Amino acid sequence: MKIFEMMEKEGHEQLVFNHDKTSGLKALIAIHDTTLGPALGGCRMWPYETEEEAIRDVLRLSKGMTYKSGASGCDYGGGKSLIWGDPKKDKSEAMFRAFGRYVDCFKGRFSTGTDVGTTFHDFIIARKETPHVGALPEEYGGGGNSSIITAFGTWKGIKAAASEAFGTDSLEGKTVSVQGLGKVGYYLVKHLIEEGAKVVGTDIVQDHIDKVVADFPQVTIVKPEEIYSQECDIFSPNALGAIINDDTIPQLKCKAIAGAANNQLAEPRHGDIIREKGIVYAPDYVVNAGGLIQVVDEMEPGGYNKGRAYRKAATIYDMLIQIFDISRRDNVPTHIAADKLVEERIATIGIIKRTKK
Ligand SMILES: NC(=O)c1ccc[n+]([C@@H]2O[C@H](COP(=O)([O-])OP(=O)(O)OC[C@H]3O[C@@H](n4cnc5c(N)ncnc54)[C@H](O)[C@@H]3O)[C@@H](O)[C@H]2O)c1
């Protein structure tokens, strides 16, 4: 494995190995690009089989964060941290304090928070050693449950997709099929119903379905495998990744896709195929940026401000409108247009920063 070659190819700035003998901490911190601002990215804890697998993952995820931060309009770059271990049995106070001290060495050049395998409890501990952690509960100055703002941003994303597909962003009378009625799905359904949309929903957990139906009895529930073929205007994936694939695309009857689930396209070519079918795709990492916007707001001087965070999350709509314009301008699918938007932003802001020096 040639680490420098990999970093050069993908444009990474830094990869730092952190080890603490007392707690057994083995952590990697990757910084991809800091042109727009300090790097931001969650901390994943996972029992990787090999060191190589962990390095590849942290480099890949940190690059993804450059695009996610850039598309959210925030002045942050991309980074990621990773603790090599089993989140079920390897965690300790000492481990997260040691991790916090390593994060602190970056002096704000990198900030982190929860991801797969870590929870806010871990970062309440790390916070004792560094201020550069976010995604904290309200009583610790954070924004609390990020699913609520993610659902708000997703609703704005659905409206932007509707505007592109139907020439109006009103969802009144439109049918939206929602896959996944979990933490984000529940609050998304609330926004949709309040706007007068017809909602078709599905989940694999009966308790999650029951909660939605109890509060919004007008929602029609279908079996999980039936969600793709629903007669609807918009399909909103809020459960799993890779659900836009060779099996599901022929079933789709929608005119737009917009949802919070990460990595919805099984492969990039599926973005081209849905475009050819005339379906507007709102890129997932733009639609689901609400949680990231909340974490960024926690880092503002004076701390988290809910009104400001929601105003910022509402601009997910404007970002998507720009992406649809680039898609038309350059005749490319929207997932490519989203990457272009970020790359153009990095190029122009990079020049402005040089001019000011
Ligand atoms: N919560 C956030 O702030 C946030 C931020 C960015 C992205 N996301 C992404 O949004 C998606 C939803 O996040 P969440 O926090 O609501 O997670 P969640 O686990 O609370 O909800 C996911 C729901 O999908 C259901 N589900 C799983 N497999 C399914 C299937 N085959 N068919 C139908 N339903 C199925 C689950 O039972 C669950 O109710 C995830 O992909 C997540 O990565 C979430």
pLDDT, residue 352, reads 87
* CATH superfamily of the 146-289+318-341 domain: NAD(P)-binding Rossmann-like Domain (3.40.50.720)
In the chain, CATH 3.40.50.720 covers 146-289+318-341
* Residue 270 backbone dihedrals phi, psi, to 5 degrees: -70, -25
pLDDT, residue 34, reads 97
CA nearest ligand 1 atom 2, residue: 147
Encoded tokens for 241: 């990744």
Q: Which residues line ligand 1 (CB under 6 A)?
A: 146-147, 150, 179-185, 202-205, 208, 224, 238-240, 260-262, 288, 291
Q: Is 181 annotated as a binding residue?
A: yes
Does residue 297 surpass a pLDDT of 80?
yes
| Residues with catalytic function | 80
Query: Closest ligand 1 atom to the C-alpha of 185?
Result: 16
Residue-wise pLDDT for 259-291, tens only, equals: 999 999 999 999 999 999 999 999 999 999 999
What number does CATH give the domain 3-66+78-135? 3.40.50.10860
pLDDT, residue 354, reads 78
Ligand 1, pocket-test mutation among 147, 155, 179, 184, most atoms within 8 A of CB: 184
pLDDT, residue 94, reads 98
**Cβ contacts of 271 within 8 Å, gap of 6 or more:** 244, 265, 281, 333, 334, 335, 336
Name which of 134, 126, 132 is nearest 109 in CA terms: 132
CB 63 within 8 A of CB 32: yes
**Cβ contacts of 344 within 8 Å, gap of 6 or more:** none
- Strand, coil or helix: 24: coil
pLDDT, residue 355, reads 73
Q: Is 312 annotated as a binding residue?
A: no
* Residue 138 backbone dihedrals phi, psi, to 5 degrees: -60, -40
Q: Is 183 annotated as a binding residue?
A: yes
In the chain, CATH 3.40.50.10860 covers 3-66+78-135
- Strand, coil or helix: 124: helix
Report residue 357 CA to chain centroid gap.
33
Encoded tokens for 295: 């974490």
Ligand 1, pocket-test mutation among 288, 295, 298, 316, most atoms within 8 A of CB: 288
The verdict on ipTM greater than 0.85 is yes
Residue-wise pLDDT for 154-190, tens only, equals: 999 999 999 999 999 999 999 999 999 999 999 999 9
> Residue 322, Cβ neighbours under 10 Å: how many?
18
Residue-wise pLDDT for 23-76, tens only, equals: 999 999 999 999 999 999 999 999 999 999 999 999 999 999 999 999 999 999
Does residue 357 surpass a pLDDT of 60?
no
